[in-house]
Amino acid sequence: MDVFSFWFILASYSVKTFAQQCKLTQRSEHGLVLLDHVFKSFTVDRLASCYIACNSQPVCQSLNFRLSDKTCQFNKESNISCPASLKQNEGFIYADNPDRALLGSVPFRAAKSCQHVFQSGDSTGNGEYWIDPQGTGNSFKAFCDMTTGGGWMMVLNVILPSPQSSRWNGIAEQTFQGMRNYGNGKMAITKSAMKQLRAYINFTQIRFHCSKEKGTTFHVRTTLNNKGTEVVRYFSGERDEMPDSCDSFVRIDGDNSRLAQNCATWAYHGKWGHVSHNVGENRLYNYAAFVAHSYHWVIPTGGHWKCDDNTGDNLSTGDFWKVYVR
């Protein structure tokens, strides 16, 4: 069987192959073309040659083959990532590259955010992804939670190394690129870094998650309404007035915190933040939420680690505080 005949067998049946640890389906589509994403165009002797050339280059996400003059076009996107760009045109054949580099899997296919990867359909589960919020080629690896609703990017990850180490000696990252250091268990970004990040990806939600093995779990995400937006603006340094707590968040499965159940008594008359800490760079991790003398979210650089408690006791190795945005 020659390569040309083999190609048309592939065109008739779904062929599954592993690509970047994810199974994809490859088939050609007669009468379709992906518009506005061509980055390379050249003439070939036949359709199979176009396919083989695209298949050998992971940067080629898909191809268009123009029947009239045997022009092979490489696309930087695919029907999966840009379905609205796929149009009917009887003069073309369109095909995905089954060995394409998934969005976020390599530096040259860096995503804007974890949400970008999730919405593209290229998510392979929780883990590291290459992101480039600025779109300048200055990509780095960040941690993405793709299973808790999908598309969450980690901006704070503080993990207790041992019960005897009840102080966080880490230094908050001054720029959002500091998210690449999430793996050291003492990463947080400042208010200014949050503001930088929001300017590039315009995230609309924040998720707070802390848990103690010998205590309780606080796990909430902000709502997609005006009150939730004000919380995002507050922690991104776009406003200094402490936002309302009630009706600004929803509890996530696993939350059994007293803090989440008592929003009306947060801070000062039901507010996020703290009156003496709200204008500093540490608002994301120092008294982000608390009920005075009762339940707190606190991981200061000096002081007790608190998750839905007041004393900072009952510590265990692996107790954690995490914050995500999407």
- State residue 302's pLDDT score: 63
CA–CA distance, 58 with 48 (Å, rounded to integer): 17
pTM attached to this predicted model:
0.84
Main-chain phi, psi angles of 51, to 5 degrees: -65, -45
Q: For residue 312, what pLDDT is reported?
A: 75
What span, in angstroms and rounded, lies between the C-alpha atoms of 318 and 320? 6
Q: Which amino acid is at 320?
A: F
Q: Report yes or no: 153 and 112 within 8 Å, Cβ to Cβ.
A: no
Range 237-266 burial, b when 16+ CB lie within 10 A, else e:
beeeebbbbeebbeebeebebebbeebebb
Q: How far is CA 91 from the centre of its chain?
A: 38
pLDDT < 50 regions, the chain: 1-26
Using an 8 Å Cβ cutoff, are 93 and 67 in contact? yes
How many other CB atoms are found less than 10 A from the CB of residue 316?
13
- The conformation of residue 101, written as its DSSP 8-state character, comes to P
- Res 166: pLDDT: 56
pLDDT score of 167: 63
Tokens of 111: 């995503």
- Strand 320-325 relative to strand 306-309: parallel, antiparallel, unpaired? unpaired
pLDDT (0 to 100) of residue 169: 65
pLDDT for 299 equals: 83
CA distances from 326 to 132, 200, 202, 256 (A): 14, 12, 8, 23
pLDDT at 168: 67
Cα 239–Cα 245–Cα 250 angle in degrees, nearest 5? 115
* pLDDT (0 to 100) of residue 277: 63
pLDDT of residue 148: 97
Structure-token pair, residue 22? 């994810």
How many angstroms separate the CA atoms of 275 and 242, rounded?
8
Structure tokens at 18: 């592993």
Helical pair 191-201 and 226-235, crossing angle rounded to 10 deg: 130
